[in-house]
Structure 1
Amino acid sequence: MVETLHTLSDLRRSKYGQPDPRHGLRLLWWFAREFVIIASNGLYALQDPASGCFGFRHFMNAERILPRNHYYKTGNLHQCDSLPHYVTGGYTGQLDDSNTDRLIVSLRSKWNGKFWFDKIYVTKHSDQVLFDQNHTYRISPDLIKNIRNLNRKEFLRLMKNDQNSQSVHIQIPQDSTIEHQRSRQSTRDDCDCRKCKIVMCVCASLLFILFLIVLLIVLVPALISKD
């Protein structure tokens, strides 16, 4: 039984397309934002996946990871050069995880000239050939709509798992740093003390000068009157 992802939280918890260099999240955002058209009675495709547009190919479902149906898959960056660069840019061409994710769709019968989606899935390779049934999920129409309402940067930010975030490290000062800080503090204290002494000397000098002026004002008239 394939689990259905209904919300952004469900998608984040599934870890589909994570971590880099996997491209599944960017592929899914492109699909929801650029390839799906939303109507009142369902979702339909911008173009017919059967035409081979944007790297769509028949998906044989050889491992029976999905119910029996007629499927198309995309996301093989080795065979597709029509997807936008933000989807393909991380592809290394090496045997790593940069080409492991796929998006799979099934269609209802064509109606009114439109190619209506039946079901939408995401999956990943378990090796270079087989797909991983334990990491295969159905994407609900509501989730497609939620993804469509986000710009790519915000969507990728919301999908970041805690394990991918960097831990915050608090750097504890070493003994030499502490001693240096104490030395600087002591120097500042000495400077402040010298400044206080200078201010006190200046104030004392001003008071002495003021005393002399007052004394002269009192004595000079007295001496003149005696003469």
Structure 2
Amino acid sequence: MLQWRTSLRKVPITRNEYFCEIDEDYITDRFNLTGLNAEVSHYQYALDIICDVFEHEVDGETRDQIEKSARHLYGLIHARFIITSRGLSKMLDKFKKSDFGRCPRVLCQQQQLLPVGLSDLPHSKSVKLWCPKCEDIYTPKSSRHASLDGSYFGTTFPHMLFQVYPAVIPLKPEDRYVPRIFGFKVHESAVVQRWQDEIREEQKRRRAIEG
């Protein structure tokens, strides 16, 4: 047996650029963690690691299991924290610094991206990146980022961010690539383009009514 004391600052999950640092007082308020004990094995040990109060004798195999649980628990807490006012503020700073990368679509002109989950259920979908300009999603370039569980960000976060901070909503792109052959528009794209125009106009009308 060995004496093991560590904190999650040494666990790889918090060194990932997509995560913000969760405020300590949020973690220590047990109300915020309601229900997580049923989702994480070695829950109390994992929480002790996150709070940097772990002082138990464990063997190497148990330590690895607890570390894995601590990473998962941190991710689940992170999903809850980033939709609080404090969490949104921290993620907004990361968005402004382009910590999540930029949209690969040429006509989005390097628009900053936001992480989003396609499911709120753990271990079901990996994290994706959402562009608020073209409103499409992309797979992160780095495998280290692409392997993150999407539930650690959730389906709500990026859209709530713009509800709280509408001033940072980017303008939708006016330009669209038009396929051409010898300068003439490809006929098959015309129907799709008209449909896209109708959808865009409907979205504009809806925003005007809501505004």
Q: TM-score range by the shorter chain?
A: under 0.3
Larger radius of gyration: 1
Q: Which has the higher strand share?
A: 1
TM-score (norm 2): 0.22
| TM-score in terms of structure 1 length | 0.21
